[in-house]
Amino acid sequence: MTDTTPLMVLAVFLASAVRYSMPLLVGTLGETVTERSGHLNLGVEGMMLMGGAAGFVTAIRTDSLVLSLLAAMGGAIAGALFYAVLTVTFRANQVVTGLALTLFGAGVANTVGKGAVHASTPPHIQAFFAWQPLRPDLSAIESVPVLGPAAVFLRTVLLEYNIYVYMAVLLAVVLSLLLHRTRLGLHLRVVGENPASADASGIRVAATRYGAILVGGALCGLAGLYLPLVHNGTWVENITGGRGWIVVALVIFVRWSPLRAMLGALLFGALEIIGFKLQGFPQLAGNPLFSQYIIGMYPYIITVIVLVANSARKKGGWRGPGALGLPYFREER
């Protein structure tokens, strides 16, 4: 292995940060879509678990990747549908409903996943996610000084990923374009900023919100599926381990932008692994700031700082969807 040069250590670290960031990124994209419509869905953790369990159990039962993906989306959408019906149609409190969804989702997922605890990802699906479609063969220039290591570095950082990673990045770009360049995105943003305005403009507020919540749910399901199917290769109880809450934090941290979500997820993903990577450095052992548990706090602390800074700014600037968390009822008087 040539992984011992400092450059390669960095490259491998960055690459694994990217891999760790995947469930966070996809979940964040989903929650961003939902929150852009004005709905704060705190049930991300529950939806990720539902999607993960449904998708993984389907994968080991049917041996089919396509069915597994559909099941992951379907499972999470089922959870999101509860949330949508309650908060959009029945105008229930969004925070409480989101918490209920987390409880419900964890319950369903851990019940369903019970049978899959000792199972592992079917081999051909494993192989599919081991496939690195963009990895070039550099054996010809690998030994060239300077150029060779530089090329290998870039390849490790950018091109040695499975298809899930590239699809996620593509998704972020597509969502960003959709949000800012299309009619659909404009409508979604208007609904999230000011539903009364949307209503008066002839935009279907409820339908748009349903759509955003369900799409958000589907993405959370795919994010949840990554953990058992790709990352762990097996199911364990509460496999998301709080990542759903990191997603809620991330959406704020990246200020509801799909493009910034990539950077934010990468940072939080890096923080997730940096903790135990640093265990290898005995000179840092006594320093609590570099303890993996303290590093585990950083995403939340950073989010708190962003939240406070965001609200403390005097004027101008956008502070998130204007109607976030508020129900809308046209005939209210």
Partner 1 sequence: MGGPVPSAECPAIEMAGICKSFGHVRANHNVGFSVRSGEIHALLGENGSGKSTLMNILSGIYLPDAGSVAVRGRHVAFRSPRDAIAIGIGMVHQHFKLVESMTAMENIVAGTGRGLRLDRQQARERIRAFSRRFEMGLDPDKRVHDMSVGEKQTVEILKVLYRGADILVLDEPTAVLTPQEIGRLFGILRLMRQEGHSVIFISHKLNEVMSLCDRVTVLRRGETVGTVAVADCTTSRLVEMMVGRVVDLSIDRPRVQSSGLCLSVRNLSVRDEEGIRKLDDVSFDLHHGEILGVAGLAGSGQKELCETIAGLQAAEGGRIAFHGNDILGRSPRDIIRLGISMSFIPEDRLGMGLVAGMDIADNVMLKDYAFRPGLFLDRTAARKKAREIVSRLSIDTPGIFHPVRKLSGGNIQKVILGREIDLNPKLLITAYAVRGLDIHSSYTIYRLLNDQKVKGVAVLYIGEDLDVLLELCDRILVLFNGRVTGIVDARSSTKERIGLMMTGETPRAEGWQVPLPVPPLPASNACPVADRLLSPDSDRTMPAGPDGKGGGPC
Partner 2 sequence: MLRIARKEDMTGLRAVGVRIAAVLLALLASGLLILAMGYDPREVVRVMWSGMRTLKALASMIRIAIPLAMAALAVSIAFTMKFWNIGAEGQILMGAFAATAISSVLPEGTPGALRILLMALAGLAGGALWALPPALFRAAFRTNETLLTLMFNYIAIRWVEYLRCQLWKDPAAMGFPQIAPIPESAHLPQLLGVHIGWILVLVLAFLQWVFLRRTKKGFEVRVVGESEKTARYAGMTVGRVLLFGVLLSGALAGLTGMVKLNGTAFVLAERLAGGDGFTAIIIAWLSNLSAPVILVVAFLFAAMKQGAGWMEGLAGIPSALADTVQGLILFFALGSEFFIRYRIILESRHRTERKEAHP
CA 116 centroid distance within chain = 23
Site string for partner 1, 36-75 (x = CB under 8 A): ----------------------------------------
Q: Which is nearer to partner 1, 205 or 251 (CB)?
A: 205
Contacts of range 314-320, beta carbons closer than 8 Å, 24 or more positions apart: 318/255, 320/35, 320/252, 320/255, 320/256
Site string for partner 2, 95-124 (x = CB under 8 A): xxx-xxxxxxxxxxxxxx-x----------
Q: Which is nearer to partner 2, 203 or 307 (CB)?
A: 307
- The total of other beta-carbon atoms located within 10 Å of residue 146's CB is 7
List 16, 110, 162, 194, residue binding partner 1 (CB under 8 A): 194
Q: Binding partner of residue 203 among partner 2, partner 1, none, CB under 5 to 8 Å per kind? A: partner 1
Q: Which is nearer to partner 1, 43 or 195 (CB)?
A: 195
Contacts of range 169-174, beta carbons closer than 8 Å, 24 or more positions apart: 169/262, 171/26, 171/29, 171/219, 172/25, 172/29, 172/258, 172/259, 172/261, 172/262, 173/258, 173/259
Stretch that binds partner 1, among 2-10, 11-19, 156-164, 182-190 (CB under 8 A): 182-190
Nearest to 197 by CA among 208, 185, 205: 205
Instruction: Provide the terminal-to-terminal Cα distance of the chain, rounded to the nearest Å.
Output: 71
Q: Binding partner of residue 143 among partner 1, partner 2, none, CB under 5 to 8 Å per kind? A: none
Size (the chain), residues: 333
Q: How far is the CB of 255 from partner 1 (least distance, A)?
A: 13
Site string for partner 2, 192-221 (x = CB under 8 A): ------------------------------
Largest CA distance in the chain: 75
CB 138 within 8 A of CB 152: yes
Instruction: Give CA–CA dist 185/99, Å, rounded.
Output: 28
Task: Count interface residues toward partner 2 (CB under 8 A).
Answer: 55
Stretch that binds partner 1, among 80-88, 185-193, 227-235, 283-291 (CB under 8 A): 185-193
List 93, 143, 201, 279, residue binding partner 2 (CB under 8 A): 93
If one asks whether residue 184 binds partner 1 (CB under 8 A), the answer comes out as: yes
Site for partner 2 in 29-68 (CB under 8 A): 40, 42
List 167, 199, 245, 304, residue binding partner 1 (CB under 8 A): 199
